[in-house]
Structure 1
Amino acid sequence: MSGNLSSPCPGNSSEAWQAPSFTRAAQFRVGATMLLFSFAAVSNLAVLFSVAQGGGRRLSPRFRPLILSLTLADLMMTFVVMPLDAVWNVTVQWYAGDVLCKLLCFLKLFAMHASAFILVAISLDRHAAILYPLSSLDSQRRNKRMLLVAWSASLLLASPQLFIFRTIKAGNADFTQCVTHGSFQQRWQETLYNMFHFVTLYVMPLLVMIFCYVRIMLEINRQMKKNKAGDSCLRRSGTDQIPKARLKTLKMTIIIVASFVICWTPYYLLGIWYWFHPQMLRETPEYVNHILFLFGHLNTCSDPVIYGLYTPSFRADLASCWRRCTPDSPRTPNQSENSQEGTGLEREQ
């Protein structure tokens, strides 16, 4: 977590050190990263536009800040982590100096923490909406507090990167790298640091999300049994519009969380393997390491896709933007109706 596993670390081994090169497997990684970057940049900026200018006005007031924060975290991953990964693999060594070494490694961990913690906030919001529907009156204030904690905790937990990363020159070779070498007296200390971030970035968020959604599923199952018995506890004002909206929003958030787990699990498993067995970089094919790292980038691309699939107004916003950019484009009779369609996100109170 403290750095890129593919990044060479001169001076950490007693073996004769050889400068790495821009291999064919690394070239594949860079090409795939830039494709993912292009898609993630366009799709997340489109979601940002929709939430801030278009359909965002029709989002539930309690849910809009959560989606906006998740999109901003994804944009940080897109414009910081992906270009850093691609350029670093191309140059192999570090040319940007000590200040940018510290700053970019800090921003990378900050973006990763923010993305994970905001998903936790979304899960806690869904937990409150389903189990404690009467608490919706105070939900906006609660969500703002959760987001403040998420961003603040991300900032705090990523701040050590500013102190442990530095530029190191490899012996007599003309090779400089941005690494943590020299910041830890013993290897176990660096492993402990990495394991701490593994827990805060993956284990704790995953446990909280599992807890929330297990309780949600149990509550939904209980309500379904009551409804079968003629007791419609989730209904309000004689209609089932609100529970359907909540369930649709719940489905979207479950898929977003599942995407987080699927995309980041290979990354963290590879990291754990490397922390306890650094020789794995020489024992496994290079392309396998690169492919597993790319899985993490897929999460940044999947969030806007999932949001778009569950939000018809998002597609209406994009169509509206296209019409403004191309004024000669015809307007179909159904466009104004589609722009007012309700979804789980837009009609939830």
Structure 2
Amino acid sequence: MDVSEGVELCYPQLLNSSCRGLMRPHSQAVLFYTLLSCITVLTVTLNLLVVISISHFRQLHTPTNLLLLSLAISDLLVGLLVMPVETVRFIETCWLLGDLMCALSYIIGFTLTSASVGNMVLISIDRYVAICYPLQYSSKITRSRVEVCVCLCWACSLLYNGLILKDHLRQPDRYNSCYGECLVVINYISGTVDLVFTFIGPCSVILILYTKVFIVAVSQARALQSHIIMVAGGTAGVTAKKSEKKAARTLGIVILVFLMSFCPYYYPSLAGQDISNSASSWAIVSWLLYFNSCLNPLIYAFFYPWFRKAIKFIVTLKILEQDSSQANII
């Protein structure tokens, strides 16, 4: 069988039944492996620091931090289980892990991504109640209720994505045209449902709740300004303006990162098309989606003073000292 230069069969012994692909130059493959491996390591490291901090220090065992812990676990698993597989899928021209792993790779990736989005929604609800109803917060947001919500979030993510990918799970090779492929196609109907439940719905909830939080935070800052203006003079106005800008910046970052990560993936559904990993843009689209797991700990945890202090404990190995879990880091 004639094969042009630079083209290689996935399984040469199968001849026409095997896929062919253009091999990447060695230098390009090394560059991609290095870049994507660095993103993977960074994702795992940042989320692992959040998991260790919240799990170890007693002061951090609060309902809010339990939500951050759940988000960090979902993003940590994306870094451990999904990103390495996607790195190989992106760089290599053949799928060499078999049909079972082909099916599992997508159900795991989609489930973890959905769980991550669900946790972001729960965090926005928590922040909304904390800022808008501070007096009722302790009675409305209890540890037991948060634990139930987190469990439901994970269970619904698994069940929901199992339904979306049920045909792919039953017959992973149904869309493959030859050996060495791992194709998944989400039809327009399933894609539309997924668009609503995983993108439009969560994005709307996050945007509405954080906007309300921003409005209340600004009104509180202005109320505080009016009380202390006689004492602090002009500096009170400057402080209030800084608080407003900080709140607006945080809101903007949360929404912008969410849209940048998820919009490209759901563009086919918005355009009335099927979602398929055979598209030439799939690698960029999927990595943008998964890169959100690297950014989440920076957005939701890194700006907390307790997290930066916890990192110092971990990096300097003070966390290994006796009774370090009782340390005052808040």
The 3 A distance-change label for structure 1 pair 197 and 143 is: same
Q: Which residue of 2 aligns with 1:143?
A: 146
| Superposition deviation, residue 46 in structure 1 | 1.5
The 3 A distance-change label for structure 1 pair 180 and 270 is: closer
- Matched AA of 1:97: G
Using the TM superposition, name which of 256-265 and 143-152 deviates more.
256-265
The 3 A distance-change label for structure 1 pair 89 and 277 is: closer
Equivalent pairs, count: 285
Q: Contact between 1:106 and 1:158, CA under 8 Å: does it hold in 2?
A: yes
| Superposition deviation, residue 152 in structure 1 | 2.0
Q: Contact between 1:122 and 1:253, CA under 8 Å: does it hold in 2?
A: no
Distance of 1:80 and 1:275 partners within structure 2: 28
| Superposition deviation, residue 51 in structure 1 | 1.1
Two-structure CA RMSD over aligned residues (Å): 3.8
- Matched AA of 1:71: A
Distance of 1:249 and 1:59 partners within structure 2: 24
Q: Which residue of 2 aligns with 1:81?
A: 82
The 3 A distance-change label for structure 1 pair 40 and 200 is: same
The 3 A distance-change label for structure 1 pair 211 and 256 is: closer
Q: Secondary structure at the match of 2:21?
A: coil
Distance of 2:254 and 2:180 partners within structure 1: 39
The 3 A distance-change label for structure 1 pair 47 and 326 is: closer
| Superposition deviation, residue 253 in structure 1 | 6.9
Q: Secondary structure at the match of 2:153?
A: helix
Q: Contact between 2:43 and 2:293, CA under 8 Å: does it hold in 1?
A: yes
Distance of 2:246 and 2:188 partners within structure 1: 39
For residues 161-211 of structure 1, give each alpha carbon's deviation from its aligned partner in whole angstroms, at most 9, with x where no partner exists. Answer: 24424343856x5x2323347xxxxxxx81221222122221110001111
Normalised by the length of structure 1, the TM-score is 0.68
**1:174-323 → structure 2 map (5 Å cutoff):** 175-180=179-184, 190-228=187-225, 230=227, 254=251, 255-269=253-267, 272=270, 275=273, 281=279, 290-307=283-300, 309-323=302-316
- Matched AA of 2:264: P
Using the TM superposition, name which of 250-259 and 123-132 deviates more.
250-259
Distance of 1:214 and 1:73 partners within structure 2: 26
Distance of 1:191 and 1:178 partners within structure 2: 20
The 3 A distance-change label for structure 1 pair 67 and 277 is: closer
Q: Contact between 1:94 and 1:177, CA under 8 Å: does it hold in 2?
A: yes
Distance of 1:249 and 1:143 partners within structure 2: 28
Distance of 1:266 and 1:41 partners within structure 2: 24
Q: Which residue of 1 aligns with 2:122?
A: 121
| Superposition deviation, residue 311 in structure 1 | 2.7
Q: Secondary structure at the match of 1:78?
A: helix
| Superposition deviation, residue 83 in structure 1 | 1.3
| Superposition deviation, residue 61 in structure 1 | 1.3
Normalised by the length of structure 2, the TM-score is 0.71
Distance of 2:274 and 2:328 partners within structure 1: 54
- Matched AA of 2:93: V
- Matched AA of 1:321: I
Q: Contact between 1:112 and 1:201, CA under 8 Å: does it hold in 2?
A: no
| Superposition deviation, residue 302 in structure 1 | 1.6
Q: Contact between 2:47 and 2:76, CA under 8 Å: does it hold in 1?
A: yes
1:104 aligns with 2:105: yes
Q: Contact between 2:132 and 2:213, CA under 8 Å: does it hold in 1?
A: yes
| Superposition deviation, residue 75 in structure 1 | 1.0
Q: Contact between 1:33 and 1:297, CA under 8 Å: does it hold in 2?
A: no
- Matched AA of 2:181: Q
Q: Contact between 1:82 and 1:297, CA under 8 Å: does it hold in 2?
A: yes
Q: Contact between 2:306 and 2:329, CA under 8 Å: does it hold in 1?
A: yes
Using the TM superposition, name which of 200-209 and 100-109 deviates more.
100-109
| Superposition deviation, residue 66 in structure 1 | 0.6
- Matched AA of 1:68: L
Q: Which residue of 1 aligns with 2:232?
A: none
- Matched AA of 1:178: C
Distance of 1:168 and 1:26 partners within structure 2: 29
> Structure 2 regions of 5+ residues with no counterpart?
1-17, 229-242
Q: Contact between 2:75 and 2:116, CA under 8 Å: does it hold in 1?
A: yes
**1:27-66 → structure 2 map (5 Å cutoff):** 27=29, 29-54=32-57, 57-59=58-60, 61-66=62-67
